[in-house]
């Protein structure tokens, strides 16, 4: 066995009902005082609670930023960076999902201020050094240690306002991190172990939350799984799934979590036959019967993922996200250009076209052999 694994330095706090106090404690621990709170309109009430806790602790909320958009448009990032610089902030508190965390990361690239992330979804951006910006229909991503939040505070109570359909899409986005990590460019046994444990947690947590949206234990399990998923993704890098979703989201402005939720089973169908051992371990993590896994590991992984998606009422097709059928050929060419050469199954224009066509129509996922 031989591999290289990098571990990220980050503090993580997980529980229920602790966010406001924990944020104030962490700002104090870091020796910071001039706080910028980043939160979109749907998280404004949660951000108010965080801000009240900061003020009660004798800290200064120097700037509140409420404009957040998916895929982090460059012009928005530049305005937020300029506002942060003018306010002379020294710490950023982000309250929200991946788009909010993404904007906080963009600010941190230009302003010397650590991020305290308070996620309200299962997107996982808070546990990675990866950033993304969109300009003119092109999404650019990169890796920068400055954007890794110093502390992540997971409070399950803050996720209870997330509608069930978005909970499902966001959770499957987290599961996509797990799956892609099994064959991404820097995949290794350590990030694979985290990915599989993350998959197990999400595969049990999501059904619990769908059955009872007020189930805090289920939501804590989802947050735990999403964190492990993001850790594995940060370590392993972007594989085929994420490259495809970055193209689709950045070029056609598709909803982030829903796009990941739709594309995931088709990427698994494309790659699973080429990595039967990894597919079998994933199938077991998702709850497949051991006998079926031993008999046909790739098929078992595809089947159990599809069963999970159906049971959760997950988004079914790219057509429903707003992608026009006429864009499929162009999208296939763009995706082909960015998929890593290390992908376990051969990637051709025909195989990517078949993948996108099936995902657009919402066909039942079946093995795609290049």
Q: In 3-state terms, what secondary structure has residue 92? A: strand
* 119 and 190 share one domain: no
**CB atoms near residue 9 (< 10 Å):** 7
Last residue of a domain, one of 125, 144, 159: 159
Query: In terms of C-beta density within 10 A (0-12 exposed, 13-18 middle, 19 or more buried), how is residue 60 classed?
Result: middle
Query: Does a structural domain hold residue 367?
Result: no
Same domain, 132 and 241: no
Q: Does residue 145 form part of some domain? A: yes
5: in domain:
no
Of how many residues is the chain composed?
370
Number of separate domains in the chain:
2
Shared-domain flag, residues 212 and 278: yes
pLDDT score at 370: 61
Q: What is the CATH number of the domain that holds 42?
A: 3.40.50.1970
d(CA 233, CA 186): 9
- Do 259 and 207 share a domain, yes or no? yes
- Considering the domain architecture, whether residues 175 and 144 belong to the same structural domain is answered as no
Q: Work out the burial of residue 189: count CB atoms within 10 Å of its CB; fewer than 13 is exposed, 13-18 middle, 19 or more buried.
A: exposed
195, 301: one domain: yes
Tell me which residue range forms the domain holding 70: 11-159
Do both 343 and 251 map to the same domain? yes
Give the end of a domain, one of 159, 185, 219.
Answer: 159
The answer to whether 246 and 137 have CB atoms below 8 angstroms apart is: no
Per the CB < 8 A criterion, the answer to whether 16 and 220 are in contact is yes
* 155 shares its domain with 180: no
2 domain residue, yes or no: no
205 with 264, same domain?
yes
Distance CA 167, CA 161 (A): 10
Q: How far apart are CA 317 and CA 93, in angstroms?
A: 35
Residues 146 and 170 in one domain: no
* Per-residue model confidence as pLDDT tens for the chain (370 residues): 888 887 888 999 999 999 999 999 999 999 999 999 999 988 999 999 999 999 999 999 999 999 999 889 999 999 999 999 999 999 999 999 999 999 999 999 999 999 999 999 998 999 999 899 999 888 888 889 999 999 999 999 999 989 999 999 999 999 999 999 999 999 999 999 999 999 999 999 999 999 999 999 999 999 999 999 999 998 998 999 999 999 999 899 999 899 999 999 999 999 999 999 999 999 999 999 999 999 999 999 999 999 999 999 999 999 999 999 999 999 999 999 999 999 999 999 999 999 999 999 999 998 777 6
Q: Is residue 95 part of a domain?
A: yes
Query: Is 25 contained in some domain?
Result: yes
Contact 252, 315 (CB under 8 A): no
Q: Facing residues of 168 across strands?
A: none
For residues 278-293, one letter each, b for 16 or more C-beta atoms within 10 angstroms of the residue's C-beta and e for the rest, the string is bbbbbbbbbebeeebb
φ, ψ (nearest 5 deg) of residue 68: -135, 135
Given a contact cutoff of 8 angstroms between Cβ atoms, the answer to whether 165 and 254 are in contact is no
**Do 197 and 288 have their domain in common?**
yes
First to last CA, the chain: 29
**Alpha-carbon span 359 to 155, nearest angstrom:** 34
Among 266, 263, 252, 245, which residue's Cα sits nearest to residue 130? 245
The answer as to whether 333 is a domain residue is yes
Domain end (from 159, 177, 203) = 159
CA 220 to CA 158: how far, in whole Å? 11
């Amino acid at each position: 066995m031989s591999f290289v694994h990098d571990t990220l330095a980050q503090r993580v706090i997980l529980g229920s009902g602790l966010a406001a106090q924990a944020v104030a404690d962490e700002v104090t621990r870091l020796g910071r005082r001039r706080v910028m709170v980043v939160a979109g309109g749907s998280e404004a009430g949660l951000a108010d609670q965080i801000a009240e806790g900061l003020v009660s602790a004798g800290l200064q909320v120097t700037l509140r930023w409420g404009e957040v958009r998916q895929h982090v448009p460059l012009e928005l990032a530049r305005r937020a960076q300029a506002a942060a610089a003018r306010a002379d902030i020294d710490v950023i508190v982000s309250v929200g999902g991946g788009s909010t965390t993404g904007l906080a990361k963009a600010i941190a690239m230009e302003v010397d201020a650590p991020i305290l992330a308070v996620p309200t979804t299962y997107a996982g951006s808070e546990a990675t050094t990866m950033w993304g910006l969109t300009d003119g229909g092109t999404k650019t991503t990169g890796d920068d240690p400055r954007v890794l939040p110093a502390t992540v505070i997971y409070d399950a109570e803050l996720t209870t306002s997330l509608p069930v359909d978005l909970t499902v899409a966001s959770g499957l986005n987290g599961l996509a991190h797990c799956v892609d990590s099994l064959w991404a460019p820097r995949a290794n046994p350590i990030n694979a172990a985290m990915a599989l444990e993350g998959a197990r947690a999400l595969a049990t947590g999501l059904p619990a939350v769908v059955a009872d949206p007020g189930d805090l234990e289920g939501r804590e399990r989802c947050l735990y799984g999403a964190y492990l998923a993001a850790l594995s993704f940060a370590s392993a890098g972007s594989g085929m799934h994420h490259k495809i979703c970055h193209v689709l989201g950045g070029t056609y402005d598709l909803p982030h979590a829903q796009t990941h939720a739709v594309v995931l089973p088709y990427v698994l169908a494309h790659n699973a036959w080429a990595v039967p051992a990894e597919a079998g371990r994933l199938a077991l993590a998702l709850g497949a019967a051991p006998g079926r896994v031993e008999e046909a590991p790739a098929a078992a992984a595809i089947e159990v993922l599809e069963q999970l998606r159906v049971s959760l009422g997950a988004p079914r097709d790219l057509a429903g996200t707003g992608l026009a059928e006429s864009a499929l050929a162009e999208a296939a060419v763009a995706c082909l250009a960015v998929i890593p050469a290390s992908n376990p199954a051969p990637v051709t224009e025909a195989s990517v076209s078949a993948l996108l066509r099936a995902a657009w129509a919402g066909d039942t996922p079946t093995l795609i052999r290049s």
